[in-house]
Amino acid sequence: MEFQRIDHKDIVGWGVDADKSVRPNYPMWKPATEGTGAHWAIPEQQPNFKDFYSMERPGPTHVFGSTVPPKGLSGLIRKLSFAKFSEGHWEHWILLLMADRIGVFEGIIDDVLHGTMPRLLKERGWEVDKKFKTKRYKKVVTLSALAVLAPIVFIAFNMNKNEQPGAR
Amino acid sequence: MLATNYRGPYRIRADFNKPMPEIEHPNDAIVRVTRSLICGSDLHLYHGLVPDCRVGSTFGHEFTGIIEEIGSSVQNVKVGDHVIVPFNIACGSCVFCRNQLYGNCHETSPQASAMAGFFGYSHTTGGYDGGQAEFVRVPFADVGPYIIPDDIDVDDAVLLADAYPTGYQAAEMADISQGDTVVIFGAGPVGIFAAKAAQWMGAGRVIVLDRENYRLEFVKKFAQCEAYNFLEMDDPVTFIKKITDFMGADSCIDAVGCEASGSKLQGILGVKMKIQAGSAIALQWAINSVKKGGTVSIVGVYGPTANLVPIGNAVNKGITLRGNQASVKRHIPHLIQKIRDGLIKPSEVLTHKVPLEEVGEAYHLFSSKLDNCIKPVLIPPSAMH
């Protein structure tokens, strides 16, 4: 393997931040002497918390997200995860992952009930494969077509054979 | 409104029927998105690796937008301002925010005390919808959003929401002194910016490792550094020792995170079976490649709960391990000055501009690294011109 050597005088801006005191994150704990933009000592509490909070906290945070509140079977599993296990337990996260996977099926059912048929190929971005991985795309399409057609042809062939006189 | 809608691992679409966000707290703002990026860490969500990522969520933590509505207590921004929105949601008043650790805010993520609130990054980071949408709710509008200066292009500005400050902070946490040898694992956008920042900090050598040749070629030009493909090596650690007189690097940066390739064992245990929190092979290489007494800086995203890393080596070698989510607000003025000084044009990493409606294709393109994709930007219909 060829090793590369680069002369510093050719590097644009080399060493402009060599002095550590000019770096914004130095030192890491550094009071915001010009303020943070906050004009409150304690933020106002956002109302209507309808989700779960970690048992490693006294309660919900003063501000929180409200998208996709828990519901259904996945919601019950999330409730169990937050009620029984703290963040340091593997079980807490595995239950949440399990709820996520159950949520996928709940999402498909929800789509169908609301008149939206899931378009799996579009959602997975298959148009991109058609353009940039053409060989793979053609192979998958061909194999999928064969997988669908082969049983149909087989059944049709056998039905045809059974209808002929003397066939068993 | 149009917004991305996560439907499960490897499935994402844009729907027109997402309800408009509303003011839910007096310091909220509603922002009309002008640019929204897909991050490498969004791929962990897309691949189903992040717990409590609920079907129906909208992703997107790197975005710019125009303020359309403000809550009753908002003072520092007004309707019509075009702002960069840092990925951190920070209250500005907890002990961490008061000390400028905005990525560690204690008042914005109820579901996990280890995390601050982030936009569009599952309920593990607070359950906020993200900016891969036409409109987004921005909490603590007086703390986070930064008005884009007139002389800064929006395509450069949007990279200040996450990738560019994260790359810079990665180099800061590596504690680089003039003349140091720095090895960066990962030539994605964050690794690319980290390499550039390491040069600004006076590194003697900057060495980037990745598996994609097109990304290595890009970082060689962008950061004027050495770049090598680890697929051409038997062992990256041995390679790094050989090119550093068998001492190791002064600092190593992990800019890869939990879906690192390079070890079948790590991949099977972490990515496939989820017995550990993804594959930590890049971090393993970083710990093993750094010299005794050196520093390993971690900005790659890892989730709960634990990973296989050679902690014994970290102890025996006396290594300093540093990691954090970038404190974006703290970095913005300094990094804007670098753009003004002509030292960097961040938008060079934006390789694909994609309409928001084609988000499924954009994620697949980025995930599979097709068409030499480094970083895609999503553009909502109202911002298409």
In this structure, what DSSP letter does residue B107 have?
Answer: S
Beta carbons of B88 and A16 less than 8 angstroms apart: no
Query: Residues with Cβ < 8 Å from B194, sequence gap 6 or more?
Result: B167, B168, B170, B171, B184, B253, B255, B299
Query: Residues with Cβ < 8 Å from B19, sequence gap 6 or more?
Result: B1
Q: What residue in A sits closest to B234 (Cα-Cα)? A: A1
**B54, B206, B269, B365: best to mutate for the A interface, most A CBs within 10 A:** B54
**B200, B273, B370: best to mutate for the A interface, most A CBs within 10 A:** B200
Please provide residue B123's backbone torsions phi and psi, each rounded to the nearest 5 degrees: -75, -15
CB contact under 8 A, B200 and A94: no
Where does residue B290 rank: exposed (0-12), middle (13-18), buried (19+ CB within 10 A)? buried
Instruction: Output the six-digit token pair for B19.
Output: 């309800």
Q: Does B23 touch chain A (CB under 8 A)?
A: no
Q: Give this prediction's pTM.
A: 0.93
Q: Measured between CB atoms, which of A32, A46, A51 is closest to B24? A: A46
Cα–Cα distance measured from residue B127 to residue B124, given in angstroms and rounded to the nearest whole number: 7
Mapping DSSP to helix (H, G, I), strand (E, B) and coil, where does residue A20 land? Answer: helix
Q: Does B338 touch chain A (CB under 8 A)?
A: yes
Q: Which of residues 83-142 of A touch B (CB under 8 A)?
A: 87-90, 92-94, 96-97, 99-101, 103-104, 106-108, 111, 118-120, 122-129, 131-133
CB contact under 8 A, B341 and A13: yes
Residues for chain A: how many in total? 168
Where does residue B37 rank: exposed (0-12), middle (13-18), buried (19+ CB within 10 A)? buried
Q: Measured between CB atoms, which of B113, B333, B360 is closest to A123? A: B360
Q: Which amino acid, one-letter code, is at B364? A: H
Distance from CA of B315 to the nearest CA of A (A): 23
CB contact under 8 A, A25 and B113: no
Spatial CA neighbour of B35 closest among B154, B136, B118, B162: B154
Distance of alpha carbon B212 from the chain centroid: 19
Q: Measured between CB atoms, which of B73, B108, B371 is closest to A61? A: B108
Residue with tokens 């906050």: A38
Distance from CA of B43 to the nearest CA of A (A): 13
CB contact under 8 A, A65 and B25: no
CB contact under 8 A, A62 and B344: no
C-alpha dihedral sign at A95, A97, A100, A105: negative
Q: At what angle do helices A72-84 and A90-113 cross, to 10 degrees?
A: 160
Q: Measured between CB atoms, which of A40, A123, A133 is closest to B93? A: A40
- One digit per residue, the tens of pLDDT, for chain B of length 385 reads 999 999 999 999 999 999 999 999 999 999 999 999 999 999 999 999 999 999 999 999 999 999 999 999 999 999 999 999 999 999 999 999 999 999 999 999 999 999 999 999 999 999 999 999 999 999 999 999 999 999 999 999 999 999 999 999 999 999 999 999 999 999 999 999 999 999 999 999 999 999 999 999 999 999 999 999 999 999 999 999 999 999 999 999 999 998 888 888 888 888 777 777 788 999 999 999 999 999 999 999 988 778 888 999 999 999 999 999 999 999 999 999 999 999 999 999 999 999 999 999 999 999 999 999 999 999 999 888 6
Query: Residues with Cβ < 8 Å from B116, sequence gap 6 or more?
Result: B88, B89, B90, B96, B102, B103, B104, B105, B106, B108, B109, B125, B126, B325
Spatial CA neighbour of B121 closest among A95, A54, A65, A72: A65
Which tens digits make up the pLDDT trace of B294-326? 999 999 998 877 888 899 999 999 999 999 999
Query: Residues with Cβ < 8 Å from B120, sequence gap 6 or more?
Result: B42, B57, B58, B59, B60, B61, B128, B129, B130, B131, B132
Q: Which of residues 71-90 of B touch A (CB under 8 A)?
A: 73, 75-76, 89-90
Distance from CA of A141 to the nearest CA of B (A): 18
**B27, B77, B108: best to mutate for the A interface, most A CBs within 10 A:** B27
Spatial CA neighbour of B138 closest among B89, B78, B83, B73: B89
CB contact under 8 A, B91 and A52: no
CB contact under 8 A, B92 and A126: no
Q: Which of residues 207-266 of B touch A (CB under 8 A)?
A: 220, 224-228, 232-233, 239, 243
User: A6 to each of A13, B215, B224, B248, how far by Cα in Å?
Assistant: 14, 19, 7, 19
Cα–Cα distance measured from residue B13 to residue B92, given in angstroms and rounded to the nearest whole number: 34
CB contact under 8 A, B98 and A122: no
Query: So what's the pLDDT on residue A10?
Result: 83
Residue with tokens 């498909």: A108
pLDDT of A116 higher than 90: no
Which tens digits make up the pLDDT trace of B96-113? 999 999 999 999 999 999
Beta carbons of B326 and B103 less than 8 angstroms apart: yes
Beta carbons of B92 and B317 less than 8 angstroms apart: no
CB < 8 Å to A71, chain B: none
CB contact under 8 A, A92 and B304: yes
Distance from CA of A83 to the nearest CA of B (A): 12
Inter-chain Cβ pairs, chain A and chain B, closer than 8 A = 266
pLDDT of A163 higher than 70: no
Q: What residue in A sits closest to B370 (Cα-Cα)? A: A132
Cα–Cα distance measured from residue B341 to residue A155, given in angstroms and rounded to the nearest whole number: 73
Question: Which band of pLDDT confidence, cut at 50, 70 and 90, is reported for residue A23?
Answer: very high
Cα–Cα distance measured from residue B201 to residue B203, given in angstroms and rounded to the nearest whole number: 6
